[in-house]
Structures are given as structure tokens and as C-alpha cells.
Amino acid sequence: MSKSQQDWIERARAVLPAGGFGNFSPDIVIREGKGSRVWDEDGNEYVDYLIGSGPMLLGHGHAEVLDAVNEQIGKGMTFFANNARGIELAEEICRAVDCAQRVRYVSSGGEADMYAMRLARAFTGREKIIKFEGGYHGMSAEAQMSLAPSRLINFPLAVPDSAGIPASVRDSVLVAPFNDIGFVESLIAEQGPEIAAIIVEPLQRIVPPEPGFLEALRTLCSANGIVLIFDEIVTGFRLAYGGAQQHYGVTPDLCTLGKIIGGGFALAAIAGRSDIMDHFDKEAVGEEGFLMQLGTLSGNPVAAVAGLKTMEILRRPGAYEQLRATGETLMAALKRSLGKAGIDYRIVGDATLFDVVFTDADVRDYRNVFKADATRNALFNAALREKGIFKSPGKLYPSLAITEDDIARTIEAIEFAAGHVSMEPVA
């Protein structure tokens, strides 16, 4: 006898804290995905703009990726040793990504960001990290500083987002407002000799960098011996084949990659300049400079072949043009429907990754998003779900699997959701 979605929700509550995996709302249990669609355990069908929080850029169950994975599974799933497919993937990352002279694998984006910050400290001999309020860099103690603070306190004091983080970690993280190069300059003027790295999402969640911002970070880091880290877990191979650094024309010292490079399997990487990456090599830097890093599934061949095939497909003519055209069509539909409804809003992001923010102010940093109308946002997303659109509360990820039929269905849902929000009283 088949179980209903409610049955699974109740079973989850009995064995999982808060009834979920800690990622997405536990009020939905996904049964399967194929192409651009997912189905929940009650059989409800959705056009999927969550796509696993980004990695399924080709859609679910792409035939060529499955063929590559199935062939590899017959040869072995993981070895805890070098394998040829992982080496090939590292070679392709180095060809594609401007800053990548060497690559080191891990299993998750959060690990990659943690090691990138540690690597910067090992290279510079300094301790402090500058991050930007609202920037997401995984679950390490440093990353869980001012990711989503509910108290807006004075910069550069960090606000822990989690229990269990020592005060000493908080004191090693300096927080700046995104897109405010003047504030970053003042921090470096005051504490530059103590700052190991600046870590930044080049597109922070969905907020784009203002013209000149990333370039100015590059200049400041070069002038002050600070390592510039681009967190490209989301933007790598999405904004362009060479990631945000290609799209914006700014090359960091290190970057972190994930999601797309594993083709839907657990894989991430740190990539960057050889002299910095040498700290993973004890023979190159000696005992004192050596950064130990181990991971049971790091560079496993199943994820590597999935990533290689995904990247091969992305290199084909027209892939990124199609992705951007889909995003631009949906952005235009949002503007038409919300404009007609007379609602204050901004469409924020890039055509490959964006969302609606319900505000009458320009969105240039976390505080603009924080002060936006969260009630309208929740109503809008609930109405989209009701009409068969599956997305994150704060992002919409287009994929190459989206069809003309999906777009038509999405536009219809957007019109419904805009009308729904305009009629609802908002506190």
C-alpha cells in the first residue's frame, strides 16, 4: 500500500529534528524528478526552479549523464585514491576557470569555503577574515557569522547565526556591507596587517555587485597582501562557463566550486594560485605551512564523470544563450504581472539566478532584503506552489531542461500569484 505525503511527513517528524534534513521546508516530500519536473509523494507535479538548490542545471535524470554514471558505477564507486576521472575533471576546471592553477577536492561547498579560509590563513600567517553581511559560505564557524542576522548591529561586529560558536571565532571575522567599498577600505586601513582574506560571493545570493566593486576588492587585496576568495559554489559554471570571474572580468586568488561540477553528486573543490594551493603539499611548504585535508569521498569517480559530462554539455553551442533567454523571459513576465498589480517590487539578480524582492527601494545589500516585505514574499511563493511552481523562498534557478510549455505554465502561475498578493491585506 502506497504512503501519502502526510504519512511521510509524520514519519519524518518522529526521527528527524524539526522533521527535515535542515535544507528545505519539511512540508513537501519529493518522490522523483525528471527533466524540468518533480513530483511529490501525493503525485502532484511541479515545474522545478529549485533544481536541488542549483546543481541540476541540465535538469533531472539527463540521459547522457546517467549513461556516464552507470558506466562508472560498474567499475567502482569510490577508492580513497587518485582516479583518472577525477584527474580529468581537475584538468577541465583548470582550463575553464581563470584563477585555477591547482585544484583540491572536497565533498561539499561548505567544506570548500572552510578550507579556502584556512588556506588563506596558512599562506599569509594572518588570522582575520572579512566577509559580507548576508553572504553564505557554508556551515563552518566563520561562515556562520552574520549570514542572516535578525539584529542589525554596527559593522564590523559579527553576529553568530548559530549556537555553539566560540567568541574567539567571532572576533576573527570582520563583517562589511556588500557593495560598500569605502567601508572595506576603512577596515583594511585599520586592520590590514591582520587580515588574511576577503571572501565574497561575486553575486551575493541574488544581489549583483555594483560596477567597480569586485575590481576594487581585487585592487585592495593585491595592494595589501590579502587573499581574495570568490565563493563560486553557486555561480561557477552558471553565470558563464568560467563562472562569475569570467562573467565580471575579475580574477580572484582562490575560488570555491560545487554543485554543477558534481553533476548532482557530492563534490566540491578549492581552486587557485599554485603558490597558495602549495600549502596542501607538505613537501612544498614544510611542516609548519602544511594544511592537512582528507575526505573519504573527495574526487570520487562517480561524481567526477557526472561533472565531466555536465560540463561537456554546457560547452555545446547555445547552452548559455538558452539559459539566459529562459531567465530573461521569466524576469519580463514577473515585471509585467507585478507592475500590472501595482505592487512595490524589484527583480534582483542575474538572468541565470534571480528572484522578486517586495520593496520600493533599490536592493544593493542584505539590509535592503531584510527590510523588504516578507509577508508578501511568503504569499507569492505559496501561490506559485499552488499553481505547480517549485522554488526556493529566495531564489529562482532556471535550467536547460525548461521547455516552452514550462515557461507558459510558469507565466500563468506568476499572473495568478501577482493577483493573489495584490488582493491580500498585508500587515
Tell me which residues are annotated as active site: 136, 231, 259
Q: Which helix (H) or strand (E) holds 357?
A: strand 353-357
Q: Residue 339's Cα: distance from chain center in Å?
A: 29
DSSP state of 3: P
Sole residue written with cell 567599498:
181
DSSP state of 144: T
- Asked whether the beta carbons of 395 and 355 are under 8 A apart, the reply is yes
User: Of the candidates 132, 122, 106, 164, which has an alpha carbon nearest to the alpha carbon of residue 289?
Assistant: 122
DSSP state of 160: B
Q: CA–CA distance from 350 to each of 27, 208, 224, 344 (Å)?
A: 29, 7, 31, 20
- 242's CB contacts (< 8 A; 6+ apart) are 96, 97, 98
- 160's CB contacts (< 8 A; 6+ apart) are 144, 145, 170
User: Of the candidates 302, 402, 400, 242, which has an alpha carbon nearest to the alpha carbon of residue 65?
Assistant: 302
Q: Residue 87's Cα: distance from chain center in Å?
A: 24
Q: Compute the distance between CA of residue 102 and CA of residue 278 in angstroms, rounded to an integer.
A: 9
Q: Compute the distance between CA of residue 256 and CA of residue 261 in angstroms, rounded to an integer.
A: 11
Q: Compute the distance between CA of residue 392 and CA of residue 386 in angstroms, rounded to an integer.
A: 14
Question: Which long-range contacts link 6-14 to residues 24+ away (Cβ below 8 Å)?
Answer: 7/41, 8/41
- % helix, strand, coil for the chain, step of 5: 45, 15, 40
